[in-house]
Amino acid sequence: MPHISIRNLNVTYDGHPALRDVSVDLPDGQITVIIGPSGCGKTTLLRCCNRLIDLTEGARVSGSVLIDGANILDPSADLLALRKKTGYLAQKPYPLPMSIYDNVAYGPRLHGMRDRRQLDQIVERCLRASSLWEEVRARLRKPAAKLSVGQQQRLCLARALAVEPEVLLGDEATSALDPLSAQLVEKRLIELRGRYTIVLVTHILRQARRLADYVLFLYLGELVEHGPAAEVFANPRDARTQAYLAGEVS
């Protein structure tokens, strides 16, 4: 059973179409990478999956996005529970204005966790899972703003993991990082595969080739082609996909 099913998704911004009639199933427990030239709707598609699209002015959404069978675009859907299920990594890391510990504990605390020892365990577990534990274990109470950009992005990953999501969404999550940090984050994501369904947006084709199990190619809002990474990269069927992969369109 596919984890995420998208059916007839249409998004317009102030009347301009950003996504046209997108329908696809995203496989469970795998890394799906959305590729395409800039402005083609990749981020829009991603933001529909955790309804961050609601926050964008002038956005009109129709169609359905089913996670575990339930349509999250339904107005009556439990938004808070949905957002707990989907973790989000933005391009630029935004640590919350609090200590490193509090950043990671923020999510669990929101959803009611109070027990000190449990929080400690979660914080350590998530920081380990994002490869940050060793670097910060001695200064958990210091402001998170003092970390380097690469560390901050790993902190955001830990923060996202702390609410025990099922899905991880990443919007160009390594684009703002130095190569070393980017590598670290990529390694983490690969290791998290299986336990989580991961959907990534990237404009770096090499990154897509490294990480993807499943590929979606978007062009001008249309889902042109999708399939297992090996197939799409080796034998793209559509001419536009071929052109993009060959580096002609960017």
Residue 23 binds another protein, judged by CB under 8 A: no
Q: Pick from 145, 148, 178, 246 the residue near another protein by CB under 8 A.
A: 145
Question: Exactly one of 106, 135, 205, 227 binds another protein (CB under 8 A); which one?
Answer: 106
Site string (66-105) toward another protein, x via CB under 8 A: --------------xxxxx-xxx-x-x-xxxxx-------
Q: Does 50 participate in binding another protein (rule CB under 8 A)?
A: yes
Work out which of 40, 61, 157, 163 binds another protein, going by CB under 8 A. 163
Rule CB under 8 A: choose which of 110, 137, 148, 195 binds another protein. 110
Alpha-carbon span 176 to 182, nearest angstrom: 8
Does 178 bind another protein (CB under 8 A)? Our answer is: no
Residue with Cβ nearer another protein (110 or 246): 110
How many angstroms separate the CA atoms of 50 and 80, rounded? Answer: 10
Beta carbon nearer to another protein, 98 or 204: 98
> What residues line the site for another protein (CB under 8 A)?
50, 52, 55, 57, 80-84, 86-88, 90, 92, 94-98, 106-107, 110-111, 143, 145-146, 156, 159-160, 163
